């Protein structure tokens, strides 16, 4: 499995994964904006045998790596793909000066929360009624110390 920058050529596959993964998927124009126009954005895909099997978009906001979206194709889950995308993203953003990482996750999304906890993210807040499809709360999770001790 190979991790590389997301390009416009990946859009169809990335949008398809997003649609099957979220009740509020991003429209194609959002991914296009992230790739083309958002200077804070870092977007990668995981590729296997020429097929996109996972994707991540993160924003570098000063010293904070904000995980905006991450998803693995349903046929390829529980194979470590999202973990590898996350490690790649956090390491790369650390090299660019990120010290912490933050994300929002649905209260009901225990699979994702479990993964984030494995990386050391902890619950740091709550955004009430954050998701407009069902008014579900978002749990804010923070990884406070990205920096490797020297
Ligand atoms: C959450 C998601 C990205 C995980 O992707 P993945 O490639 O399957 O993740 P990994 O294989 O790297 O799993 C890492 C760990 O996360 C946890 N995990 C992942 N899926 C899980 C599940 N269905 N139930 C419980 N724990 C789960 C496990 O601890 C897992 O480690 P293990 O397989 O050694 O037990 C994937 O389920 C997905 O795309 N979900 C829909 C989109 C989504 O919810 N994104 C996150 C938004 S905040």
Domain ranges of the chain: 2-143
Nearest to 75 by CA among 52, 57, 56: 52
Pocket test for ligand 1, best of 86, 112, 131 (most atoms within 8 A of CB): 112
Ligand 1 cavity residues, CB under 6 Å = 21-22, 70-72, 77-83, 105, 109, 111-112, 114-115, 118
Write out the two tokens for 57. 């978009």
Half-sphere exposure of 6 (CA within 13 A, CB side): 30
Which of 72, 79, 81 gets mutated to test ligand 1 (max ligand atoms within 8 A of its CB)?
Answer: 72
* Architecture of the domain defined by 2-143: 3-Layer(aba) Sandwich (3.40)
Q: Which atom of ligand 1 is nearest to the CA of 115?
A: 16
- pLDDT category, 149, cuts 50, 70, 90? low
**Contact criterion met (CB below 8 Å) for 66 and 106:** no
- Report pLDDT for 138: 98
150 Cα–ligand 1 center, Å = 30
Inform me whether the pLDDT recorded for 150 exceeds 70. Answer: no
State the closest ligand 1 atom to the C-alpha of 85, by its place in the atom list counted from 1: 12
Residue 103 has pLDDT above 90, yes or no: yes
User: Where is 36: in which H helix or E strand?
Assistant: helix 28-36
Confidence of residue 147 (pLDDT cuts 50, 70, 90): confident
């Amino acid at each position: 499995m190979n991790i590389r920058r997301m390009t416009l050529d990946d859009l169809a596959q990335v949008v398809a994964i997003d649609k099957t993964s979220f009740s509020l998927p991003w429209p194609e124009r959002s991914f296009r904006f992230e790739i083309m126009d958002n200077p804070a954005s870092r977007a990668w895909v995981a590729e296997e045998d020429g097929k996109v099997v996972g994707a991540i978009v993160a924003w570098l906001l000063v010293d904070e790596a904000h995980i905006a979206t991450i998803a693995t194709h349903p046929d390829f889950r529980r194979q470590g793909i999202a973990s590898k995308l996350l490690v790649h993203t956090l390491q790369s953003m650390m090299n660019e000066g990120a010290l912490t990482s933050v994300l929002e996750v649905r209260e009901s999304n225990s699979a994702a929360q479990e993964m984030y906890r494995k990386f050391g993210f902890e619950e740091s807040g709550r955004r009430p009624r954050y998701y407009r499809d069902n008014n579900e709360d978002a749990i804010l999770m923070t990884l406070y110390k990205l920096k490797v001790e020297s």
